[in-house]
Amino acid sequence: MIYYIAFILFGIGLYGIVSQKNLFKQLVSLTIIDTAVNIFIVSLGYLHGAEAPIYSSVTPLANFVDPLPQALVLTAIVISVGTLAVAAMLLVHIHEEHGSVDADEIRAAKEVIE
């Protein structure tokens, strides 16, 4: 079930990137894809009925959840937040420079300058 949610979110994000000319909307779509990938990776490490390997009262031979996907996703979240901040800063700068964040308008303005 969780795989379907990840694939649906990935499709929504991909559609947003392909169909939107607004760079801000493309950035939001990219964030949706990032979230979908994170959900997919976490779901790979999930085991039904398993316990967390840290601060658990279960015996050492019990079924544990693999913590590696969760650690990777936490790292990916931190990196994506940093990337999102830089991209948002660039969009603000582009808007100040060109007065728009529409990709076609920016491309047309760039051709006029050249």
* CATH number reported for the structural domain that contains residue 17 in this entry: 1.10.287.3510
Cβ neighbours of residue 25 closer than 8 Å, sequence gap 6 or more: 16
Q: What angle do CA 35, 91, 8 make, to 5 degrees?
A: 25
pLDDT at 63: 74
State the total domains in the chain.
1
* Per-residue pLDDT at 7 exceeds 90: yes
Domain hosting 91: range is 1-113
The pTM assigned to this predicted structure is 0.80
pLDDT at 80: 94
